[in-house]
Structure formats: structure tokens, C-alpha cells
Chains A and B, each alone.
Chain A
Amino acid sequence: MDNTQTVKVERNLVGLSPVDYKGKPSTLCPGCGHNTIANQIQAALFELGVVPEMVAKISGIGCSSKSPNYFLDRSFGFNGLHGRMPTLATGACFADRRVKIIGISGDGDSASIGMGHFKHVIRRNIPMVYIIENNGVYGLTKGQFSATSDLGLELRHQGRNFLPPLDLCLEALISGAKFVARAFAGDIKQMRELFKAAFVHDGIAVIDVISPCVTFNNQDTAMQSYTWGREHESPIQDITFIPKAKEIIVEDFEEGSYREVKLHDGSTLLLKKINRDYDPTSKTAALDLLTESYEKRYLTTGLFYIEKAEQSIFDIFELGKDPLNRLPTERIRPDKATLERINAALA
């Protein structure tokens, strides 16, 4: 009898298995929303068939920013400074434009110390997926309020939060982001579909993921807790990502009950209406929706806004397709005659 048992390993388009997308074992708290996000990033990229070498992971400081260590071991990673992830990503993106950057940040990182960079990296439309692992609390420093903590939130040792929260999706919208979404760690299918769409988006894609902190901010009444999220989540669409090669089958849907959004790489997002028809290409609709959600206390999730950018940062700088970080001397150092001309002009 043959003792070698063949285990059927699932392979994707590029011949890789889910194991090839794994990272180091997580050292975050069991049940932390960030672990779910790490898992869904792996799943999304596996399903998309992205080679891990074509991804770079960049993060700031905090529990969220540790998490890039827990997915995509075969991708380059840089865990930098608190709030400064967007700056590292901005510089790095020019080195080899084939590589897509996933920026991982938290609410402390993006809504407080790095708010300036958050808005400016959006302004520059750096091609990257910008994920905020938003738990409304500083975890790594043991439970202080963050700028996304709800007004009136009560935390041990902190008392009552007397300041209103910032909404990073609103901030992203008014900064000019052309892909803005919110996901919830308790809704993994939607999160994975959003990650896929964000990854193929040609420019910055901002996804605010409500990712509960099971240690410091998971009281049932807390806006970023699992319980509150499950009770108050109001997804605006049922999202299905359809890769470019696949046929779109929509016969299950009633006429007018879904929208199709063509993505940069030829794939399609199928957005099935849930409660009301929502136009994700209208910025004013997005601003209204988010304002209303906070007032009526819903955890609204889904793709709020998507728009195609006219030109990329690479177009603006008139850069070539060859990786800049591999150009040999003769392509990056002007010749001797050029220096002689400069000397002559300065004489």
C-alpha cells in the first residue's frame, strides 16, 4: 500500500497555495480584529493570484502596525515610525512601480500623529492600499482614548471621553481619495471583496476597517466592539469581485437591484443593493451617507466612493516602466560632455 498520502493543495492562477501567503504567527491578542484582517489580506491576494514578491507591506507603530509581520512573509515589509507609514510608502512606490504597496495603519497612527501624512498621501494619490485597523483605542500603550473613540466612551483608567470622534472615511473623501470604503472585522466576506477591489484600484484605496480590540475596547456599548458592530452594521451593498477573466452572471438579481463598477485592471465589482440604491460614484452621496450614519448611529460599511483618476503620480513625473531601482550608471549619470557644457555656462 502506498503510504504517501497525496494531500490536495489548492493552487491559484500563479500556481501558489495559501501557505505561500502566510506570515509569522501572530503575537496579537487572540480574537483581535487585526488577525482577521491579516487573514483576509492573505485570502484576497491568494484569490487574486498576486505573487507575494509583487507586494510590499509598510506600517507605522501600534498593534495594527505589527500585523504586516503576520501575513505575506515573502513580501518586503517595513515597520517604521508612528504615523509616518504614508511617507515611507510615498518614497518606496517610485522604486519599482510593478510592486503594489499595502499600508497598514491604526487609528492612533492615522487619525492623530499621522493625520497630516494621511491626508497628503491621499492628495498625492500614491498607488497603494491604505488599511486603517480602527479599534478606537491605543492598544500597545494599554488602553488610552484615540481620535476615533466615540464621544462619551468610558475606559478603565481613562474615565469618559469628552471629544467627538473623527471619521477617517470622511477625511479621506474630502482629501480627494478616489476609493473609500469601510469594512468590519465581523463581516469577512465583504472585507475580502473590498480588499480585492482596492488592490486592483489604480491609485490610493482607503479602507477603514472597524477592528475590535478585545482587551481594551470591546464592551458591548463601545462603537468599535464586536457586539455593537454586529447589532448596528448596515452594509450598503452586497459586494462581489469578479476577476477580468470570469464571466459576469447576474441573472439572480432583479433589474435595477445591482450596480456594476468596472475596475482598472478589467475586473468588475458587482454591488447588490441592500436597503436602498446607492451610487458609489457620487461624492456628495458618500458625504451624506457618512454624516447620517454617525448621527443615526449605524455602522455603515461598504464601498462609499470610487472614481477613476485621470493620471497617476508616475504619469505626472513622466516616469518610465523600467524599475528605477535597477537602472545602471549610464542611465542615471549624465555624461562628461554635459558637465563640460554646464561648466561653460557658469563661466
Chain B
Amino acid sequence: MTYSETDELLDLPPKVNDFCMTVSTINGSGSATSNNVLYHALFHMGIPTSGKNIFPSNIKGLPTWFVIRVSEKGYLGRVPYDDIIVAMNPETFLDDLTYLPEGGVIFYADHIRKPEKPRADLIFYPMPIRQLVKQAEVPRNLRDYMENMTYVGIVGQVLGINMESILYALKRHFGNKASALETNLKMVNIGYEWAEKNIIKKDRYFVKQLPPMEDYILTDGNNAGALGSLFGGVEFCSWYPITPASSLAESMNEQNPKLRKDPVTGKNTCVILQVEDELAAAGCAIGAGWAGLRAMTATSGPGLSLMTENVGLAYFTETPVVIWDVQRVGPSTGLPTRTAQGDLTMVYFLGHGDINHILLLPGSVNECFEFGWKALDLAEHYQTPIFVLSDLDLGMNQWITPKFEYPDCPIDRGKILWEADLDRFEGKWGRYKDIDGDGIPYRTVMGNQNPAAAYFTRGTGHNEYGNYSEDPENWAKMIRRIKKKLMNMCEVLPEPIFRNKPGARIGIIGWGSTDPALIEAQDMLEEAGIPVDYLRIRALPTCKAVRDFISEHDHTYVLELNRDGQMCSILKLEVSASYAEKLSSLTDFGGLPMTAIWATEQVLAKEMKRNG
């Protein structure tokens, strides 16, 4: 007996290492492990893969989808359709089917009722999951997990995923827990063997072993940010739980004891403190930064709204602090479990009065690591808050990414004066004096025993010596110097990444997690006869290279995940007026990662209109 629906193979060419598979399950049913195992096994086979969890703001019961994209060409952005569906959730079954193209495949748990008149162009593989689990005599409390492990075996067998790679993935997941490994492996094997005997493959999708991706690792941006910060010598992190930023601090908590024991005393060298709210998260980090610790916090939009007053204090008192914003959809509570790039203008100008900030914009998991340690150096060197804007897609989803590289320069503590340094100033030391002409003053920190070390830090108007001042000229001088200090940073911040195409006259600009979609879109546009140069901005304020890019192209499209084109607006402010009209904004803001198809269609439509 076979479980295939159509007896005839559809007349479609095979697709090898190029498809999108969505596992449709119920939140809280324990499918994360099985999905990660599938995903990791594909990576282990050397196939470029991305895994995205599209989940609700819910703990148990609502639909959730895990999307695995396999692309030999290395395109890792989201696609707006599925080739394969693993259906475990009866609630969404019918709707899930609408995302399948001709020849699409459905693996479904056979306790789910199939539509009476299914599309004839789809291939259905029913899976007797409950029966198999029952036969395996699994303890009741593990049944949900085992149901999920069963589909790993079945899907793996039908697509051609190596058992060896599945085993590798299981081992990585379960580590030393031998009994868990054994139970799960057993269930995968049951599914695999059942499929071998009972499924006649009729679909067009295959995976094939490729050379191993030796220079790559697999992880998420929040873990990378956490590791980058710990390698950056962070000494204090205060935080308050918020999706999608929590896992950054949690990951730090997990790694801290392993990574940050003082080699001299064996004691901890980093404090990670969950506090009462985001006001405290910012305040504690600023207190620590002021006292000479490398300090940070991690939050998302609503948390940043609460941190705003503190950010102004840090800016004006010139206190180093790093603030991660793992963006989600706003305004208000918005869509807490969906992704967006909607905090850019808020963060850039966060605070009241004359204020502006330095933003780092990682576009890959690897950059989350790199910017993790760089942000701490920049904060202390320039004595100002540094923001790192990640997002839910980058922060919480699994990505393949180049191996983390060890910091290529020593830790930069900036212009900090200790007891002996102060003697050089012969008592004329002033906390806010611009001695070097670079706008960066010298600072002392708590614990310095030199009687000339102390000064009084205040968020109110102060002169070069930190004393209270309401003098108009002094105020203007202070606020101008801070601006000068920040503007001096433009050319030392992470430079943009260029990806050029021969003969391109138009440009596209993106930032952050949309990078994979834009790389793919650039190739699609080239195929459509419109070569474009692609520039990815990695920091704000803008540097000369970005302004040159805009001036050198006939027209440039800025693509991003927010309603009003926030990056485009900032660029229009920062390029000369004559170039501002060379910029157009293209925006997508439904809460899902950008797709290359969307980006390509948008640029094509605009270009057709522009060229009449």
C-alpha cells in the first residue's frame, strides 16, 4: 500500500537544493527542537539554509510556522510561498495549502482531515504519526515531542537528508543528554524507516550533499550580540524582559560564567542584572558607565520609549553606554513577535532638546558579534551612548553566518585619567574641557584616589569644569562641542558595504536584516535587464561614501521595513539638497521579513514609471 494521492508524477523538472519548506504547528507543542534539527541537518550537508520562526505572541495554542529555505545559490531571504508544507496543525491546514505552487508537497499528520476536493496539482503524503508514536511506546509526557521527531524522519527520508547529518544535528541539540538523544533518535529512525517502506516519492524536491560550509556557523543574532559584548569586555548589563530582545541578555547570562572568569582571581568580571523596568535598565547601565564599567542594556521599541530620558542624560553628561534595540513592530505594543525597522528615526533623535545619536546597523549575525564589541569601544572612546539596531528577524531567527572573528584591536577605554595621569594636568583638569581639539574631553571615574579626580556630574547646564552654569554662551559651546565630537565619528564607524553590477546607473540602499533579500533582488533585477548597484548602510550618521553613492547614481531606491521610509528621510536630510530628489523610498511593513520578489517588483515598477 502506498500513501500517495496521485498516481502520475507531475511533469515538472526536479528541484535540487532550492525550495522553501514550512512546518505548520501549534505554539507550545515542542516543535522547535525538531525544526532546528531539520534545519541544522541541512546546514551540515553543506546546503545554504535559513530558518525563520513565524510565531504568535502566545505561549501555547496558537498557530506557528517554521520556514526553512534551502538555496544552493545562497539566497537566504524570505520567500512569499512554500514548496513543501509539513502540516501538523488542523486549524491552518486549508489556509496553508494556498501558499503552494503547482507540484507543491504536503506532508500531513493523518489525523488531520484532508480537504474533500484537494487541488490536483499537489502531492499529499499522509503520515501516520500518532500510530507510529503509539507503537514506539513513548511516555505520555513526551508524545508531542515525539510526534514532531517522527516527521523529521519521514520528511528527511523523502527529501534525501542524510541520516548522518540528522544525527549530527541531534547531538548538537542534546549535547550530553544521552537518554534524550537516544529517545529522539529512535523516533526519527522509526519515521525514516516507515517512509522508506511506505512512501513512493512523487514530488520534485531533493536535497543533495554539497561540500561542507567550513567557514560558516549557525546561530542567531541575539546570541552573536551577547558573545560579541562578552568578548568586548562588557562588565555590566542591566535589562528588563521584552520580546525580541530578552534572549540577548539571557544568552549573556548563560555564557557569562563560562567566558568571563577573571584569570587572576577566578571571580566573575561581568554583572548581568535583571531589574524592575527599562527606566532602571538604562539608569543602572548609565550609572555603571559613569563609574568606569563597560556597560550596556538590550531592549526593544517600547523599552526604548521608557529609556528616553535616561538616554538624554547619558548624552549630555557624556557617559558611555551601549543600548541594543532589537526592533519589533510598533507603535504601541504593536506586533511583539514580528519584525520591523521602524525605530530608526526615533533612536537617531532619541531624547528632547538638541540631540542626535550614533547608530550601528548590523546586517548579519556575524556583524551582531562584531558590533557587539565595537560598540563598547566606541562608547568609551567617544563618551556617548551607542545604539545597535538589530531586529526580530536577525535577533531571534537562525542564520548561517561566517565564523566570528576575534577582535582585531585591543579594548579601547578612551580618555580615562587615573591617579598618576592627573598630575600632568597640574590641578587644571576639567571634565568637559576640549584639550585635544577633537571634542572628546578627559574623564575620571569613581575610585580614583587623586584628590583632584572627583567632579560633579549633572544633567543640568555645566561649564568645562562640570560646575553649574546657565550662561548662554557656555551652553551653546557645550552643545556644539558634543555635536562636533559625534560628527568626527562619521568616518570611523563601520563603512557601507558595496555590491556593484557592471553598467548599473541606478542604486538601491538597504540596512540591517533585509540584506539577503536585497542581494537576491539585485540578481533578479539584473536578470530582468536592470543592473543596480547595492549599498548597505552599517552606521549613522552617514559618511562620505554614502553621499557619493547617491550623487553618482541617476536614481537610488531606499528599501526598508517601515511605513514612512525612515532611512530615506534621514538620507534626504544628510545629503545636499540637489541630490535629495534622486532618492525614492520603497517600504514594506506587514511585520514579516522582506522578500526579494517584493523588492524586485517594486524597483521594476518604479523604474518603468520613472522612464515613462
Chain A residues within CB distance 8 Å of chain B: 24, 51-53, 56, 58, 68-69, 73-81, 84, 86-96, 98-99, 116-117, 120, 124, 317-327, 329-334, 336, 338-339, 342-343, 345-347
Shortest beta-carbon distance from B205 to chain A in Å: 26
Q: How far is the CB of B264 from chain A (nearest CB, A)?
A: 6
Q: Which residue of B lies closest to A328 (CB)?
A: B411
B287 near A87 with CB under 8 A, answer yes
Check A53/B454 contact, CB under 8 A, given A91-B286, A317-B271. yes
> CB distance B217 to A87 under 8 Å?
no
Determine which of B269, B270, B280, B468 lies in contact with A120 in the assembled complex, contact meaning CB atoms within 8 Å.
B280
Mark each residue of chain B from 347 to 385: 1 if its CB lies under 8 Å from any CB of chain A, else 0: 000000000000000000000000000000000000000
Candidates A58, A76, A117, A329; contact of B280 at CB < 8 Å: A117
Q: How far is the CB of B405 from chain A (nearest CB, A)?
A: 8
B456: contacting residue among A69, A95, A120, CB under 8 A? A69
27 A-B pairs with CB atoms under 8 Å apart are A52-B451, A53-B448, A73-B454, A75-B454, A76-B448, A76-B455, A78-B287, A79-B456, A80-B459, A81-B313, A81-B459, A84-B279, A86-B280, A90-B273, A116-B277, A117-B279, A117-B283, A322-B264, A323-B447, A325-B446, A327-B269, A332-B260, A332-B411, A334-B231, A336-B406, A339-B231, A343-B404
Asked if B295 is an interface residue, CB under 8 A from chain A, the answer is yes
Q: Mark B455-467, 1 if CB is under 8 A from A, else 0.
A: 1111110000001
Kindly state whether residue B403 has any CB partner on chain A within 8 Å: yes
Q: Can you name 12 extra interface pairs (CB under 8 A) apart from A78-B317, A333-B232? A: A69-B468, A77-B455, A79-B456, A91-B288, A94-B235, A117-B276, A120-B275, A120-B276, A325-B445, A327-B262, A332-B411, A333-B407
Q: How far is the CB of B211 from chain A (nearest CB, A)?
A: 14
State whether B290 touches A92 (Cβ < 8 A): yes
A319 x B267 contact (CB < 8 A): yes
- Tell me the B residues contacting A by CB distance below 8 Å: 172, 214, 216-219, 227, 230-233, 235-236, 238, 259-260, 262-265, 267-271, 273, 275-277, 279-280, 282-295, 309-310, 313, 317, 403-404, 406-407, 410-411, 418, 444-451, 453-460, 467-468
A317 to B267 alpha-carbon distance, docked (Å): 9
- Contact check: which of A24, A325, A330 meets B293 at CB < 8 Å? A325
Asked whether, in the complex, the Cβ of A333 is within 8 Å of the Cβ of B231, the reply is yes
Using a Cβ cutoff of 8 Å, how many contacts connect chains A and B? 214
The CA-CA distance from A325 to B293 in the complex, in Å, is 5
**A324 in contact with B456 (CB, 8 Å):** no
Q: Are B286 and A88 in contact (CB under 8 A)?
A: yes
Least distance between A234 CB and chain B CB atoms (Å):
34
Question: Which of A76, A91, A323: most chain B CB closer than 10 A?
Answer: A91
Q: For B230, what are the chain A residues with a Cβ–Cβ distance below 8 Å?
A: 334
| A95: min CB distance to chain B, Å | 3
Once the chains bind, are A81 and B271 in contact (CB under 8 Å)? Answer: no
Min CB–CB distance A24 → chain B (angstroms)? 8
Of the candidates A24, A58, A116, A343, which one forms a contact with B287 in the assembled complex, judged by CB atoms under 8 Å apart? A58
A317-B271, A325-B446 are contacts. A91–B262 as well, Cβ < 8 Å?
no
Question: A58 to chain B: which residues have CB within 8 Å?
Answer: 287
Does the CB pair A318–B283 fall under 8 Å?
no
- Given known pairs A77-B454, A81-B309, the reply for A98 and B216 (CB within 8 Å) is no
Collect the chain A residues with CB atoms within 8 Å of residue B455's CB. 76-77
Specify the chain B residue showing the minimal Cβ separation from A58: B287
- Residues of B contacting A99 in the complex (Cβ-Cβ under 8 angstroms): 446-447
Residues in B with CB closer than 8 Å to A320 are 262, 265, 267-269
| A79 with B457: CB separation less than 8 A | yes
Minimum CB–CB distance from B253 to chain A (whole Å) comes to 11
Using Cβ atoms and an 8 Å threshold, which residues of chain B touch A24?
467
Query: A332 near B233 (CB under 8 angstroms)?
Result: yes
CA distance in complex: A319, B265 (Å): 9
Find out whether the CB atom of B269 lies under 8 angstroms from the CB atom of A331: yes
Q: From A101, which residue of chain B is reached at the shortest CB distance?
A: B446
Measured CA separation A331–B262 after assembly (Å): 5
B259, A338: Cβ atoms under 8 Å? Answer: yes
Give every chain B residue within 8 A of A53 (Cβ-Cβ): 447-451, 453-454
The residues of A that contact B290 with a CB separation of less than 8 Å are 78, 88, 91-92
CA distance A87 to B284 in the complex (A): 5
* A77, A116, A319, A333 interface centre (most CB from chain B within 10 Å): A333
Q: Judge whether B280 and A90 touch: CB under 8 Å.
A: yes
User: Do A91 and B445 have beta carbons less than 8 Å apart?
Assistant: no
B284–A90 touching, CB < 8 Å: yes
Contact A91 B238 (CB under 8 A): yes
B292 x A95 contact (CB < 8 A): yes
Question: Do A318 and B284 touch (CB < 8 A)?
Answer: no
Please state if A84 and B310 are interface contacts (CB–CB under 8 Å): yes
Most chain A CB within 10 A, of B217, B283, B407, is at B283
Contact at A96–B291, with CB atoms within 8 Å?
Answer: yes
Q: Is the CB of B410 within 8 A of A96?
A: no
**CA of A36 to CA of B41, assembled, Å:** 71
Contacts of B271 in A (CB 8 A): 94, 317, 319, 324
* Chain A nearest Cβ from B376, distance in angstroms: 10
Cross-chain contact A318 with B291 (CB below 8 angstroms): no
Q: Contact: B457 with A77, CB < 8 Å?
A: yes
> Which of chain A's residues has its CB closest to B455's CB?
A76
In the complex where A120-B280, A324-B293, A343-B404 touch, is A334 in contact with B259 (Cβ < 8 A)? Answer: yes
**A94 near B218: Cβ-Cβ < 8 Å:** no
Q: Give the distance to chain A from B577, nearest Cβ to Cβ, in Å.
A: 38
- Closest chain A residue to B268, Cβ basis: A318
- Are A334 and B293 in contact (CB-based, < 8 A)? no
Q: Are B236 and A94 in contact (CB under 8 A)?
A: yes
**Complex-state Cα separation, A319 to B267, whole angstroms:** 5
Most B-side CB within 10 Å, residue of A75, A124, A325, A329: A325
Q: A94-B236, A333-B233, A347-B217 are in contact. Are A325 and B265 (CB under 8 A)?
A: no
In the bound complex, CA of A203 to CA of B406 (Å): 40
Query: B3 CB to closest chain A CB, in angstroms?
Result: 36
Query: How far apart are B586's CB and chain A's nearest CB, in angstroms?
Result: 34
In the bound complex, residues from chain A placing their C-beta under 8 Å from that of B411 are: 329, 332-333
